[in-house]
Structure 1
Amino acid sequence: MLNVVAPQSWRKASASAATLAPVSVRAERLTRHFGGRPVLDGLDLSIHAGEFVALLGASGSGKTTLLRILAGLDAPDHGEAWTPRARTVVFQEPRLIPSRTVWRNVVLGLDGAAARRDRAVAALAEVGLSHRADAWPATLSGGEAQRAALARALVREPRLLLLDEPFAALDALTRIKMQRLIASLCEAHGPATLIVTHDVDEALLLADRVLLLRDGAIAVDRRIDLPRPRRTGGAAFDALRTDLLAELGVAAGV
């Protein structure tokens, strides 16, 4: 069962988290089976307001299943999850409607003042795309289309932002630019953020915490205390990278 509760009413997760913001996402004993196999098996999770969390794991480990449950797109077989009502998802594919201009895609599904063009253009300006407000999706590059998808998420002022491998289909240079953009936008807007990724470097560049999903549960929960802004390389970064790759079964030096 998915319960949606205003996060302000929750107590902090534990005494050790007393200096952190209130819990924005909480999941207890989540279990989800596919074909008789438990993909999630009694999983517990908490994410604080404003916290950026990266979720790693092997293919088929249940990362996207967990994200879909938190997004309200799937339901667990057992357990409960609490999330803010204001939550949005950015997928790997931008999922723009070809027959609508970019700005109309940004406010798709919104009503009244929230659906005005000026609101859309303001959101597009934040992602560096206001000059393409009246363009058609087919004319956008891959990076521009993903920026439009991000603007569509931000215009809803989410308290929970869910990112499902949003940069996986982009070229290396565009991916770096998008990583830096999402870092600055999340710092400015302050949502709780969960990104599903296969890229350890990406997780270390973006996240306050890195989680590793294995055997249906959170096997590793690592706080990342690297100073920001971050760059790859350096002794501390490389040590964390080596540790996480080892947890994923990748030998040192790969």
Structure 2
Amino acid sequence: MSLHSSSPTEAVALAGLDLAAPQTLAQPVAVRLEGVRRVFGSRAVLDGIDLEVRRGEFVSLLGPSGTGKTTLLRILAGLDRADGGRVEVASARSVVFQEPRLVSAKRVWQNVVLGHVQNRVTRRLAAAALEEVGLGRHVDVWPKTLSGGEAQRVALARALAGEPNLLLLDEPFAALDALTRIRMHDLVAQLWRRHLPAVVLVTHDVDEAILMSDRVIVLSGGGIRFDARVPLERPRKRGDAGFTALRARLLAELGVASPEAGGHA
């Protein structure tokens, strides 16, 4: 899929693999942005963003702090407005934030129902969603009894209970320990393959973006600096040549001088 933006957009071929994704091209569009701007004071954090994401596509947004990743996600979620341009987003959309944002006075199943309009998600559907994220026995417990990873699973169950066409993830793994983070990566990947929403993930972790995504986008200077399809078969391994090559390129785009500087940017 060819995208256009106010900054050069690039697709890179790595390890001789084809970048085409015909199965994605056949899916309906979940996100279409044309010339989107968002200005704070005299600074345009987003300045002419063009972006298209289709149903079933997993896209990660990378970029240094302050480059508009979360602002863009909030616009897609309907939590912030654009100051210019055109925004078309699937009406059925859900957001998972870095913090689970559970209501302590409500039981787990009630937190899953919370936010879904007109009781469209019932206790039965909430229980099914919790079963899907491995918390089938936690339907009636209180949030304070949950670990950090379990609480984030509840947030994910809440997001998926309404069967969204677009799932927005704002650094949902950042506060988790390393082992729980790996487990959540696997869980999100399984749920994505099962439900096939479009997914937009904001992350600072280059390895995470490559492991999980179909495409990785780097934001810089108000626009899309780099847009790379990830031409690696799943499951992906950090030591593979294609993974290493894309990682080095992304780190360079993020201004990290050496590939050995680490997986975070």
Normalising by the residue count of structure 1, what TM-score does the alignment of the two structures yield? Answer: 0.91
| Partner residue in 2 for 1:230 | 236
Deviations 1:83-119 (A, max 9, x none): 1110000000000000000001001133666332211
Deviations 1:132-160 (A, max 9, x none): 11111111100000000000000010000
| Partner residue in 1 for 2:8 | none
Query: Which residue among 108, 129, 137 is the counterpart of 1:131?
Result: 137
- For 1:49-88, list aligned pairs within 5 A: 49-88=55-94
Question: Secondary structure of the equivalent of 1:213?
Answer: strand
Contact 2:113 2:119 (C-alpha < 8 Å) held by counterparts: no
Change in Cα spacing, 1:171 to 1:17, as seen in structure 2 (3 Å) is: closer
Q: Distance in 2 between matches of 1:113 and 1:72?
A: 21
- Residue 94 (str. 1) matches residue 94 (str. 2): no
Q: Distance in 1 between matches of 2:131 and 2:215?
A: 29
Q: Distance in 2 between matches of 1:235 and 1:144?
A: 35
Deviations 1:149-200 (A, max 9, x none): 0000000100000000000000011001001110110010000000000000
| Partner residue in 2 for 1:240 | 246
Contact 1:49 1:192 (C-alpha < 8 Å) held by counterparts: yes
User: How many Å apart are 1:232 and its aligned residue?
Assistant: 2.0
| Partner residue in 1 for 2:9 | none
User: How many Å apart are 1:229 and its aligned residue?
Assistant: 1.6
Question: Secondary structure of the equivalent of 1:98?
Answer: coil
Q: Which amino acid aligns with 1:167?
A: F
Q: Distance in 1 between matches of 2:89 and 2:41?
A: 27
Count of residues in Structure 1 that have an aligned counterpart in Structure 2: 242
Q: Distance in 1 between matches of 2:63 and 2:217?
A: 8
Contact 2:3 2:51 (C-alpha < 8 Å) held by counterparts: no
| Partner residue in 2 for 1:42 | 48
| Partner residue in 1 for 2:177 | 171
Q: Which runs of 5+ in 1 are unaligned?
A: 1-11
Q: Which amino acid aligns with 1:183?
A: A
Contact 1:212 1:220 (C-alpha < 8 Å) held by counterparts: yes
User: How many Å apart are 1:13 and its aligned residue?
Assistant: 7.5
| Partner residue in 1 for 2:198 | 192
Question: Secondary structure of the equivalent of 1:115?
Answer: coil
CA RMSD in angstroms comes to 1.7
Change in Cα spacing, 1:242 to 1:180, as seen in structure 2 (3 Å) is: same
Normalising by the residue count of structure 2, what TM-score does the alignment of the two structures yield? Answer: 0.87
Q: Percent identity?
A: 60
Q: Which amino acid aligns with 1:221?
A: D
Change in Cα spacing, 1:112 to 1:42, as seen in structure 2 (3 Å) is: closer
Contact 1:31 1:76 (C-alpha < 8 Å) held by counterparts: yes
Query: Which residue among 172, 188, 191 is the counterpart of 1:182?
Result: 188
Contact 1:52 1:193 (C-alpha < 8 Å) held by counterparts: yes
Change in Cα spacing, 1:148 to 1:18, as seen in structure 2 (3 Å) is: closer
Q: Distance in 2 between matches of 1:222 and 1:114?
A: 37
User: How many Å apart are 1:36 and its aligned residue?
Assistant: 1.1
Contact 2:214 2:230 (C-alpha < 8 Å) held by counterparts: yes
Contact 1:13 1:23 (C-alpha < 8 Å) held by counterparts: no
| Partner residue in 2 for 1:204 | 210
User: How many Å apart are 1:222 and its aligned residue?
Assistant: 0.1
Runs of 4+ in structure 1 off by over 2 angstroms are 16-19, 109-116
- Residue 24 (str. 1) matches residue 54 (str. 2): no
